[in-house]
Amino acid sequence: MDREAAKKALQSAKATGFFTEMYGDGAAENEKRYEHVLEGFEKSFGGDQVSLFTSAGRTEISGNHTDHNNGKVLAGSINLDCVACAAANGTDEIHIISETYSQKFTINIKNLKPSDKMAGTIDLTKGMLAGFQEMGYKIGGFDAYITSNVISAAGVSSSASYEMLICSMINEFFNDGKVDVVTYAHVGKYAENKYWNKGSGLLDQMACAVGGMITIDFKNPLEPVVEKLDYDFGAQDHSLIIVQTGKGHADLSAEYSSIPNEMKRVAAVFGKEVCAEITEQEVIENAAKVRKEAGDRAFLRALHFFEENKRVEKQVQALKENRFDEFLSLITESGNSSWKWLQNCYVPGSEEQGITSALALTELFIKEKGCGACRVHGGGFAGVIMAMLPNSVTDEYIAYIEKAMGEGSAYRMSIRPYGAVCVDGYIA
């Protein structure tokens, strides 16, 4: 739509309804973000025709480090997101301004070779463009002005949110909206695997792209089974809180990648590629062989994989049957397994243990109040934790945890209904 039409659309009653649905109490504040990127695009690129886009961050509710071995997860799109104004430019060049990270760069779509360091936003963007091409889709030049409030390098998938934002632009501008969100996820995974050397699965991308609360079974990764869950945490009078514990995990790719690699090493003992192709009973019955050939930590991480899959199934059923207390106890179980078996709550040998410190403090708070649950959130090793607490103690908890972790480190989250979308049709 043209710029003036976009400005009017943002002031419409339809837009107000959309923003309320997406951001709840933050609707007015977020509407201003869309106005801001529209203005930023106009100043930076000019042009008459524009489109508005959003892509959610994500919360991982359960299924910690299972997706990359074709396991099961429970996740949701959250009310923190990337927002952009963009337009196709009819050239072979992509011009991106990322206000949040003070980045401005150009990519020629005829040169998508990654840099030697294979890191950063430019390589990631090249990887997505290459991924679309490899999967037989069209790409082209476009201009984009982007802002983001997704916490960086902290386990709510700022990188995947950006990836899915770019995917929605390429889909809208060059593929007539025909690319599905599963393909989005595979494009993001391709970019991270091939252009970042990061052994990512599909969880982050799917949860950012689909919208709402979802459970995903990655048994067949080319066609993952996605089920939307219509569940209102607010109706349980609970809040989902993400706590930033300090240092992010952006420079911990080796630690992160060790988890899928070690799980796959266990599968290889049985002549298979991923843990989803073997059973827990096989691993237990052949424990001595697995420990000798794959290692003790790999053995423990595989056990976490199997038990975490079962927890996801139980949690989904508990939510469907409105057994919320059982759901919370399973979150605690998941967190304990990540800490003890998966071992992704701190970097081995490091004295820096922000995640474990935040978890210890939160566990003491929960013990005192007699309610709630907590666990590591996302990739781990550094970054964030998740707490789910009754609203009656949420303010007290935020003051308590921010005293230790720093002012502004705790974020109230809500699940939003849409993931990565072109906003035009929702507001005009």
> If pLDDT is split at 50, 70 and 90, which confidence band does 154 have?
low
Which two tokens mark 15?
A: 């837009």
> If pLDDT is split at 50, 70 and 90, which confidence band does 156 have?
low
Which two tokens mark 198?
A: 């990061």
Does the pLDDT value for residue 378 go beyond 90?
no
Mean pLDDT of all residues in 193-220: 88
Mean pLDDT of all residues in 387-416: 94
Residue 143: helix, strand or coil by DSSP? strand
Does the pLDDT value for residue 202 go beyond 90?
no
Q: Where would I find the beta strands (DSSP E) of 363-424?
A: 373-377, 384-390, 410-413, 421-422
Contact 384, 155 (CB under 8 A): yes
Q: Which residues pair with 242 in a beta bridge?
A: 386, 411
Q: At what angle do helices 324-337 and 296-320 cross, to 10 degrees?
A: 170
Which pLDDT score is estimated for 155? 56
Mean pLDDT of all residues in 246-265: 81
pLDDT digit string, tens, across residues 93-144: 999 999 988 899 999 999 999 999 888 899 999 999 999 999 999 999 999 9
**Residues in the chain, how many?**
428
Mean pLDDT score across all residues of the chain: 93
Which two tokens mark 67?
A: 């997706």
Give percent of the chain above pLDDT 70: 97
- CA neighbor of 275 nearest in space, from 288, 256, 292, 294: 294
> If pLDDT is split at 50, 70 and 90, which confidence band does 413 have?
confident
Q: At what angle do helices 158-174 and 120-134 cross, to 10 degrees?
A: 40
Contact 243, 410 (CB under 8 A): yes
> If pLDDT is split at 50, 70 and 90, which confidence band does 45 have?
very high
384-390 and 238-244 beta bridge pairing: antiparallel
Does the pLDDT value for residue 165 go beyond 70?
yes
Which two tokens mark 405?
A: 């972790």
Give burial (CB, 10 Å; 0-12/13-18/19+) of 296: exposed
Does the pLDDT value for residue 215 go beyond 90?
yes
pLDDT digit string, tens, across residues 8-26: 999 999 999 999 999 988 9
More confident residue, 248 or 222: 222
Q: Which of 111-115, 143-147, 154-158, 422-426 has the lowest mean pLDDT?
A: 154-158
Count, in order, helices (H) and strands (E) of the chain.
Answer: 15, 12
Which two tokens mark 189?
A: 């995974």
Which pLDDT score is estimated for 251? 59
- Lookup result for tokens 């935020």: 398
pLDDT digit string, tens, across residues 260-315: 999 999 999 999 999 999 999 999 999 999 999 999 999 999 999 999 999 999 99
Which pLDDT score is estimated for 153? 54
Q: Which whole-number Å values give the CA distances from 173 to 167, 168, 190, 212, 264, in the listed order?
A: 10, 9, 21, 25, 38
pLDDT digit string, tens, across residues 339-376: 999 999 999 888 889 999 999 999 999 999 999 999 99
> CB atoms < 10 A from the CB of 14, how many?
11
Cα dihedral 188/189/194/199 (nearest 10): 140
Q: Domains for the chain: give ranges and CATH numbers.
A: 3-58+75-216+416-427 (3.30.230.10), 233-413 (3.30.70.890)
